[in-house]
Structures are given as C-alpha cells and as structure tokens.
Structure 1
Amino acid sequence: MRRQPLDSRVLRSAGYDPATAQLEIEFHSGDVYRYYAVPPSVFRELSEAASPGAFFNRRISGRYPTRQQYDG
C-alpha cells in the first residue's frame, strides 16, 4: 500500500485502500499497523489534521480491528 508522509513526531506515514477500507500507518519507530473497516473520511481527516498524532489517539487507536505488519 502506498503511504504518504505525515508531519508528526509519532507517525511517519499513512496510506489508505478505499477498495478494502484498510488504513496503514507507519510509526517513526518503524512499526507498521493496518487498521480494518476504516471509513475514507477518517483517512482524509488524518491527512489534514494539524496534529496527526493527536488525531490518531483520539479517532483511530483502539477503535478499529488492527494487525501489525511484518517484513518477510
């Protein structure tokens, strides 16, 4: 999934697949998580947020099924 950079101290980038409603977030730690059943409006708002990290904590974290992505 193609991700775009975010201006955040916590989140490095985010990408969204509207066909599957999957949001992928890369953290500055290098961890990548995929969130399922995420409405497109949530990705749009994350991309436009003045503080993507605060938006993530308020509107995404703990609200959607999640799986950590692994290389390999």
Structure 2
Amino acid sequence: MPSSVIKKYFYRPEQEILTIIYVSGSVYDYFDVPQAVFDDFRAAYSKGVFLNKNIKPFYRYERKD
C-alpha cells in the first residue's frame, strides 16, 4: 500500500542505515537498524505506523537536508 507520509526508502545492510524520504521532502537516516527490522518495515501494511512504533523510538536518526 502506498504511504501518505513516506515517498521512498532505501536500506544499506552493510551499514544498517535506513534512509526515509518523506512526502514533505525531508530526508532522514535511521542508524543501526537490523536487517530483520527493515524486512518487517518493508512488509508492513502501514509503513508510517511501523516507523512510528518500531523504529523512531528505538534507533538514532539524523535529518540530512
């Protein structure tokens, strides 16, 4: 299902970095995200809900733009 908040996302497994590009244009890197968490994120029906509940509270992040 397309997200109303997330435009695109990329995952770099070597560094365990999840990059989220929001519809607003903001770009964030989430650090130390394990492959299993990314796999669950990718499979989630609502990526925005999954991000808010399972990634943002637990992983350090940084705005890139």
Are residues 1:10 and 2:10 paired? no
Match of 1:57 in 2: 52
Structure 1 spans left out of the alignment, 5+ residues = 1-5
Match of 2:34 in 1: 39
What is the SS of the residue equivalent to 1:56? helix
Structure 2 spans left out of the alignment, 5+ residues = none
What is the SS of the residue equivalent to 2:42? helix
Q: Percent identity?
A: 34
Superposed CA RMSD in Å reads 1.2
**Cα displacement (A) at 1:45:** 1.1
**More RCO (CA 8 Å, sep 6+):** 2
Match of 1:28 in 2: 23
Match of 1:3 in 2: none
CA distance in 1, matches of 2:17, 2:40: 15
What is the SS of the residue equivalent to 2:21? strand
**Cα displacement (A) at 1:62:** 2.6
